[in-house]
Amino acid sequence: MDSRVAYTEEIDDLDEAVSEIFRQTDDFKLLSNSMAILYTEEDTDYRALYEKLSKKWDFPIIGCTTMAMLLGKEGYCRNGISVTILTADDCTFSAGMTDDVNVSNYKDLITAKYNELKKAHNDDIKLIISFGGMVISKDSVAGDDLVALLNELGGGTPIYGGNASDDFSFGNYNLFFNGNVTKCGQVIALISGNIDPMFICLNSVENRARFSYKVTRSEGNLVYRLGNGSFTDALVKENMLVSDKDNVLGDYLLSPFIVGIEKDDGDIVEVARNLSMINRDMGMGFFLGDIPENSIMSVGVLNRPDVQNTVEKAFSLMLRQMRGAYKYRTILCTSCSARFLALASNTEAEAEAYKGRLPEHISLSGMYAYGEYCPLRGDKTGREYNMFHNFTFTLLAL
């Protein structure tokens, strides 16, 4: 599989934007099958953009808005449009987007779309790329539930992607498939053929607060009790109830809750979780990701050196593993938007950690997400489990 990344800062004059994208890809040879992944800032008129791109490109385009992009040549890009073309003679791509999903219909809609897309493939699916929306109401589908369903449908096939983001308004994000735009649909792309996808998934948390409790009562992403007391009792005891508000997403962005989850086979995976809301009357916390009962919860402290060190470590591991027989040409990356906040004024720190280290034949593109999808390696078996993450930096090599 080969790839090419095109980028333009222009979003107002779409004729000029498309001309720049085409100029950067005119000498790129498209093979028998192709697909594109597009990231753009929230103010872009995507429908008009797609109309212009589709006059020349007849392959599927998927993507979403993002608060910023990470690119191989340009590095950190706060504004603009990036397009990554994947093309191959020995791979098959199929892509689509569901109607708006909610807790009542998401299983039916995603299952139907997955089965529809799978019909285009004669071989086993090797990779699922997917983008979703935020949890914005009680009817929204949690990231864990989306990943769990895709994992079931794919029989453990690796899943990569994340939730669309915006400029921290939490309402201007969008998801794209060809000329369609939605906030609540699920974008799904299936890839089969000659690929050997490889993943790196690292959270940003090196330092931990003095906070460690067993989750003794929870339901999905709602945590009621830690140890012998309520969730809020534990926050008060540890001097961590920092706000009088109910909506506390911004107050805990740099203090991620870390959860060690035991899988059915006894393996342990550790994921970060975002505290979103507190109900003081019930003593419970509402998280952006699921927290199972009997898991162990701790609290991390996010800072800029840890964020940059994570990227340096991730790329060192990935570049070392890419030296095998399979010829990798593409790296996709997804970083949590909370990591961006930890960078403070040094917004280019993540890009600086990899710029100048990429081989000439490797293209790279990535986004900042409001939640990441990526396989995570278990501590005991080394097996990879599809998981939903917060506060995480992920890489996919193709």
Give alpha helix (H) positions in the chain. 14-25, 46-53, 106-118, 143-154, 231-237, 304-321, 337-342, 349-352
pLDDT at 386: 95
Instruction: Let me know whether 44 and 126 are in one domain.
Output: yes
Instruction: Let me know whether 150 and 187 are in one domain.
Output: yes
Question: How many angstroms separate the CA atoms of 362 and 157, rounded?
Answer: 24
Q: Is 146 helix (H, G, I), strand (E, B) or coil?
A: helix
Per-residue tokens: 173: 């994000």
- Listed residue (239, 220, 338) closest to 286, CA to CA: 220
Least-confidence region, from 190-199, 215-224, 256-265, 346-355: 346-355
pLDDT, tens digit, 9 for 90 and up, residues 20-68: 999 999 999 999 999 999 999 999 999 999 999 999 999 999 999 999 9
Instruction: Let me know whether 314 and 170 are in one domain.
Output: yes
Least-confidence region, from 48-52, 176-180, 184-188, 206-210: 206-210
Instruction: Let me know whether 131 and 224 are in one domain.
Output: no
Mean of the per-residue pLDDT values of the chain:
90
Identify the domain boundary among 265, 284, 301.
301
pLDDT, tens digit, 9 for 90 and up, residues 226-278: 999 999 999 999 888 887 888 887 788 777 888 888 888 888 888 888 888 89
Instruction: Let me know whether 98 and 186 are in one domain.
Output: yes
Q: Which residue has the higher pLDDT, 95 or 392?
A: 95
* Residue 263: C-alpha distances to residues 110, 143, 149 (Å): 24, 18, 16
Instruction: Let me know whether 178 and 69 are in one domain.
Output: yes
Pairing type for strands 330-336 and 363-369 reads parallel
pLDDT at 264: 83
Identify the domain boundary among 301, 321, 340.
301
Domain enclosing residue 15, as ranges: 2-202+306-397
pLDDT at 398: 96
Tally of domains within the chain: 2
| Confidence bin at 221 (pLDDT 50/70/90) | confident
- The residue assigned the tokens 């086979």 is 265
Question: How many angstroms separate the CA atoms of 224 and 232, rounded?
Answer: 8
Question: How many angstroms separate the CA atoms of 393 and 350, rounded?
Answer: 10
Instruction: Please report which helix (H) or strand (E) contains residue 295, including its range.
Output: none
Instruction: Let me know whether 45 and 136 are in one domain.
Output: yes
Instruction: Let me know whether 245 and 285 are in one domain.
Output: yes
Question: How many angstroms separate the CA atoms of 117 and 98, rounded?
Answer: 11
Mind giving me the DSSP string for 79-94?
SSEEEEEEEESSEEEE
- Listed residue (205, 163, 203) closest to 184, CA to CA: 163
Instruction: Let me know whether 50 and 188 are in one domain.
Output: yes
Identify the domain boundary among 301, 316, 351.
301
Q: Is 276 helix (H, G, I), strand (E, B) or coil?
A: strand
- Is the pLDDT at 142 greater than 70, yes or no? yes
HSE-up of 154 (CA within 13 Å, CB side)?
A: 27
- Is the pLDDT at 99 greater than 80, yes or no? yes
> Residue 328 in contact with residue 52, Cβ under 8 Å?
no
b/e sequence 176-196, b meaning 16+ C-beta within 10 Å: bbbeebbbbbbbbbbbbbebe
Instruction: Let me know whether 125 and 193 are in one domain.
Output: yes
- Is the pLDDT at 172 greater than 70, yes or no? yes
Instruction: Let me know whether 26 and 115 are in one domain.
Output: yes
Instruction: Let me know whether 178 and 213 are in one domain.
Output: no
